[in-house]
Amino acid sequence: MRILKTLNQPVFSSFYGISLEIKREDLIHPFVSGNKFRKLKYNLLQTKSEDKDTLLTFGGAFSNHIAAVAAAGKENGFRTIGVIRGEELRNGFGDNPTLNFASNCGMEFDFISREEYRKKTTQDFILQLKKNWGDFYLIPEGGTNDLAVLGCQEILEESDADFDFICCSVGTGGTISGLINSSKSHQKIIGFPALNGDFLKEEIRKFATNERWELIDDYVFGGYAKHSTELITFINRFFSETSIPLDPVYTGKMVFGVIDMIRNNYFPKDAKILMIHTGGLQGIDGMNMKLQKQHSPLLLKDV
């Protein structure tokens, strides 16, 4: 895997006296999106060093992580298996863009019921998977483990030391843990959960090496992969004004939250804020598919 480039892009030059920039991690790889690239990096090296040739992981039918593992597997010569929530997909997944992309990368699927999916971390279930598929390197749902956090520690660079606040979206907590661990002692990390759940703080505490972080759960927008017309309208306006695309599941909620908090004077007047664009843009097509069925306004997109 190679990193093309990372850059910080100003969002608004003078916004309530605050400096607001976004780190375009969505641009570091064409298919292995943003933080998923960081989370996979050391796991792929570990797979090679264990002499394994197969990656197996879990996810929902529109998962950024599934798409990233499929693409990374293809690029690095690993067989990939995606254990996907939703047995009804066994009969075909139609024009689901995520699963079609993953399948084209060579990923094989194991579609399981929601009930089975809940057992996915148990020893019995994993043994059964090994019987069915042979030996594999297991990557947890969302990709978070110690090696993933290590990779995410590389998101912040020396040139980011000037910022006072680092903001990111939170799913399983791996990305924010990496940011927390590599931040400077004057910096504070603010996470915006994309889903409801009290388990998140505990998860982050398992990995984080300091306490300079906070979760803001006022911008969950109803739950994981839920959407609102207000959020869609915001993402489209932001794209028109900045040419920066945001995804509806993670980064859209985070940027909405940061701008709302600036308006509400959460940040000091001269604050330097860095938002991390963790990618996830492959999710736009899938969301538009759902929005179209409901005759709702669609997300604008680049290409």
Ligand X SMILES: *Cc1c(COP(=O)(O)O)cnc(C)c1O
Query: In what helix (H) or strand (E) does residue 127 lie, and over which residues does it extend?
Result: helix 123-133
The nearest distance, CB 227 to ligand X, in angstroms, is 15
> Quick one: DSSP state of residue 297?
P
Query: Which residue lies nearer to ligand X by CB, 121 or 128?
Result: 121
For the packed helices 97-104 and 283-293, what is the interaxial angle rounded to 10 degrees?
140
Q: Which residues bind ligand X (CB under 6 A)?
A: 34-36, 64-65, 142, 144, 169-176, 247, 250-251, 278-280
Query: Which residue lies nearer to ligand X by CB, 9 or 87?
Result: 9
Query: Which residue lies nearer to ligand X by CB, 73 or 279?
Result: 279
H helices present in 142-282, as ranges: 146-152, 174-182, 199-207, 229-242, 251-263
The nearest distance, CB 258 to ligand X, in angstroms, is 14
Residue 22 φ then ψ, to 5°: -125, 135
The nearest distance, CB 42 to ligand X, in angstroms, is 14
Return the bridge partners of 189, or none: 166, 213
The nearest distance, CB 139 to ligand X, in angstroms, is 12
Query: Which residue lies nearer to ligand X by CB, 171 or 257?
Result: 171
Query: CA–CA separation, 251 vs 120, rounded Å?
Result: 27
The nearest distance, CB 123 to ligand X, in angstroms, is 23
Query: Which residue lies nearer to ligand X by CB, 278 or 288?
Result: 278
Q: Sheet harboring 213-215: ordered strands across?
A: 8-15, 18-24, 272-277, 165-170, 188-193, 213-215
